[in-house]
Amino acid sequence: MAMMEMQDKIHTLKFKESLGFRTTEQRSKLMRKIRSRATKPEIVLRKALWHAGIRYRVNFGKVPGIPDIVITKSRVAIFVDGEFWHGREWNSKKTKIKSNRDYWIPKIERNIQRDYEINVILESSGWKVMRFWANEVENDLPRCLSDIKLKL
């Protein structure tokens, strides 16, 4: 990973109606259903690792950033990132956000910044960091598994 300059922490606002952010009840119900842990792509990857004989820990809190999957024996930290939440192709996608832009753009940009910071912290303390997009796991599981095996 190429080293970037550490930037000032991006400030995000709370999503409150009093701050001008609005949403419908239907949208709120949909958002509540979004999981942050044990997502389908994570479970698919975990099952593939288990069947390959690779043992791991899930959401291991003793590692900075609480990776989705940690292979402690090899010091490999694996994150399965959602495309929207972690800003895949962010420069083109942020222009498509139509509502609550003052909330969502800093929110996603802070997530991108935090991901970078966590990578730096982990790598500087001897961890191998792997990040997969959720659709990579769903569409090319054998390659993801192969990439992980190369790090062990």
* 33-50 tens-digit pLDDT: 565 678 999 999 999 999
Tell me whether residue 15 is in a domain.
Answer: no
What's the confidence (pLDDT) of residue 28?
59
Tell me whether residue 13 is in a domain.
Answer: no
What's the confidence (pLDDT) of residue 7?
67
pLDDT, mean of residues 14-19:
61
Tell me whether residue 2 is in a domain.
Answer: no
Tell me whether residue 132 is in a domain.
Answer: yes
Q: Are 110 and 117 in contact (CB under 8 A)?
A: no
Tell me whether residue 3 is in a domain.
Answer: no
Tell me whether residue 14 is in a domain.
Answer: no
pLDDT (tens digit per residue) in 94-126? 999 988 888 889 999 999 999 999 999 999 999
Which CATH number goes with the domain that contains 76?
Answer: 3.40.960.10
Tell me whether residue 10 is in a domain.
Answer: no
The tally of domains found in the chain comes to: 1
Tell me whether residue 9 is in a domain.
Answer: no
DSSP string, 73-142: GGTEEEEEE-TTTTTTTHHHHGGG--SSHHHHHHHHHHHHHHHHHHHHHHHHTTPEEEEEEHHHHHH-HH
What's the confidence (pLDDT) of residue 114?
95
Range of the domain at 118: 22-151
Largest Cα–Cα separation, the chain: 51
Q: Are 70 and 56 in contact (CB under 8 A)?
A: yes
Own/partner pairs for 47-50, CB < 8 Å, 24+ apart? 48/141, 48/144, 48/145, 49/145, 49/148
Tokens of 99: 């509502």
Amino acid residing at 35: R
The average confidence (pLDDT) of the chain is: 87
